[in-house]
Chain A
Amino acid sequence: DAGVIQSPRHEVTEMGQEVTLRCKPISGHNSLFWYRQTMMRGLELLIYFNNNVPIDDSGMPEDRFSAKMPNASFSTLKIQPSEPRDSAVYFCASSPEPGTSGGGDTQYFGPGTRLTVL
């Protein structure tokens, strides 16, 4: 299995531009998570989906952030317009059905997208 795939790995953009981050979860996993990691705040959950449905988006900082999961194999996190304070590493993670024997309680992380907003 290729693991969780994220693209791009690095993104440099200017303030005000739209940024779209992409994630392909592990096949068969039905939960998907978007996290943001900064030096100041560590890892923070932004939103998570279960069976393609957003369950908890309370971590999404403001209306400039939006996330979609049109199907079980693809999700996007969009920032429009971007601001310098959005600079961070954004991780996507997926997990099997909660409570599944073995791996159901573990999340599998992608390599992250390092976003720099100038």
Chain B
Amino acid sequence: KQEVTQIPAALSVPEGENLVLNCSFTDSAIYNLQWFRQDPGKGLTSLLLIQSSQREQTSGRLNASLDKSSGRSTLYIAASQPGDSATYLCAVKGPGANNLFFGTGTRLTVIP
């Protein structure tokens, strides 16, 4: 069974700092990988989706990379803002399946 791990579990940074969140998965046979954001008491919002054939995706200040062979992905957030404070989850989708396997998330706090 696919297992997804995220490190660190929590991260606190001052506003303006660049930061990296890490995600690792045990089975490299994935269809795609997504990064989600979850605000307290809310559902999940998809931020970036990387297909298995891609190496990275960018959206604004966010950049996600994928190294399928090593089972790793990173989410890079540039010039962090207090509004970026949330829990970030990565999820992988296997081939031939429609379900996602989620990591336990990294809770990010950006201090003004």
Contact = CB atoms under 8 A, between A and B. Distances in A.
Interface of A: 4, 31, 33, 42-45, 48, 50, 55-56, 91, 93, 95, 98, 105-112
Given A42-B103, A42-B104, A105 B43 contact: no
Interface centre among A31, A55, A106 (most CB of B within 10 A): A106
> How many interface residues does chain B have, given as a range?
20 to 34
Contacts of B102: 42-44
7 A-B pairs with least C-beta separation: A109-B43, A43-B102, A42-B104, A109-B44, A106-B46, A45-B99, A111-B43
Contact of B44 (A44, A91, A98, A105): A91
Interface string B74-112: 000000000000000101010001111111110000000
9 contacts: A4-B43, A42-B89, A42-B104, A48-B98, A56-B99, A91-B43, A91-B44, A109-B36, A112-B42
Given A42-B104, A105-B93, 12 more contacts: A42-B102, A43-B91, A56-B99, A91-B43, A91-B44, A95-B98, A105-B32, A105-B34, A105-B51, A107-B46, A107-B100, A109-B44
Interface of B: 31-32, 34, 36, 41-46, 49, 51, 89, 91, 93, 97-105
